[in-house]
């Protein structure tokens, strides 16, 4: 079982004590630090790798929701709060689970299990070198390092590689699930691009060789966050 590095962001002492006690019961949870406000947590996250954040919502002047909205957090998030009114907003921000106080140890373990499943899946995806694509007559091996970009054409997706083009009915959603976002990412409803094949980014358009690819507002923030990080 993989170890999970975590932090707790909670400003209520009794609630912090409860989460801390639950964390200590699970030997695969490695608690790095605790914080009683979102600002200190944000500063810590800027320079430390964290797998999981147990995050309260209502914390004075800088809430848990604000922390998620104003920073590029890659960690898994388990929200811990006494208010169910934030549930929809939390899931809009891709939190892993939402624990309504007071929650039981059994419910806590279920949330952590979901985190572990996500981290294990991400580890497998990150190491992926190729996928198989269903074309009209066969399954074709696609080497991810050879992909330049993927273009949407109505019902079809055209995959442009260094050596050839491949047509498939495979939807973008499945590509996004199977390919690490830090190698090939969505930038538009009709395009995914290989980050290491980009020649330049000028305002909105991306240039790959002689091809100009637009960036839509929907994907702009996540794309710019990705290219500001070193590729792994």
pTM for the predicted model, two decimal places: 0.58
52-55 vs 29-35, strand pairing mode:
unpaired
Say how far apart CA 53 and CA 71 lie, in whole Å.
13
pLDDT in tens, 59-89: 878 888 888 887 767 789 999 988 777 666 6
- List the CATH code of the domain at 130-227: 2.40.50.1020
Query: Of 57 and 150, which is predicted with more confidence?
Result: 150
Start and end residues for every CATH 3.40.50.2300 domain found in the chain: 4-126
List the Cα angle 133/191/130 in 5-degree steps.
30
Q: What is the percent of the chain with per-residue pLDDT over 90, rounded to a whole number?
A: 56
165-168 vs 156-161, strand pairing mode:
antiparallel
- List the CATH code of the domain at 4-126: 3.40.50.2300
**CB 194, CB 183: distance < 8 Å:** yes
**Residues 6+ away with beta carbon under 8 Å from 44:** 7, 33, 35, 50
Q: At what angle do helices 13-25 and 105-126 cross, to 10 degrees?
A: 60
Say how far apart CA 210 and CA 229 lie, in whole Å.
25
Question: What is the pLDDT at residue 231?
Answer: 40
Start and end residues for every CATH 2.40.50.1020 domain found in the chain: 130-227
pLDDT in tens, 184-219: 999 999 999 999 999 999 877 999 999 999 998 888
pLDDT band at 10 (very low <50, low <70, confident <90, very high): very high
Whether residue 125 has pLDDT greater than 60: no
* Closest C-alpha among 93, 24, 95 to residue 54: 95
Which two three-digit tokens encode residue 225? 């966050």
Question: What is the pLDDT at residue 69?
Answer: 80
Which two three-digit tokens encode residue 200? 């330049």
Average pLDDT in the 106-121 region? 90
């Amino acid at each position: 079982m993989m170890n999970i590095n975590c932090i707790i962001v909670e400003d209520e002492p009794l609630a912090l004590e409860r989460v801390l006690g639950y964390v200590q019961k699970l030997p695969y949870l490695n608690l790095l630090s605790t914080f009683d406000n979102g600002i200190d947590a944000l500063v810590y996250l800027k320079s430390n790798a964290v797998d999981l954040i147990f995050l309260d919502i209502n914390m004075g002047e800088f809430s848990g929701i604000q922390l998620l909205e104003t920073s590029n957090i890659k960690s898994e998030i388990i929200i811990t709060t006494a208010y169910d009114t934030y549930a929809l907003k939390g899931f809009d921000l891709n939190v892993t689970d939402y624990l309504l106080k007071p929650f039981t140890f059994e419910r806590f373990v279920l949330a952590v299990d979901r985190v572990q499943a996500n981290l294990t899946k991400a580890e497998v995806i990150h190491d992926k070198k190729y996928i198989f694509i269903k074309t009209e007559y066969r399954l074709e091996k696609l080497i991810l390092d050879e992909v330049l970009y993927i273009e949407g054409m109505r019902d079809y997706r055209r995959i442009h590689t260094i050596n050839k083009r491949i047509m498939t009915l495979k939807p973008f959603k499945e590509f996004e699930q199977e390919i690490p976002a830090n190698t090939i990412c969505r930038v538009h409803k009709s395009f995914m691009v290989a980050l290491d094949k980009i020649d330049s980014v000028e305002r909105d358009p991306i240039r790959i060789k002689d091809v100009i690819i637009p960036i839509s507002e929907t994907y702009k923030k996540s794309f710019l966050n990705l290219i500001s990080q070193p590729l792994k």
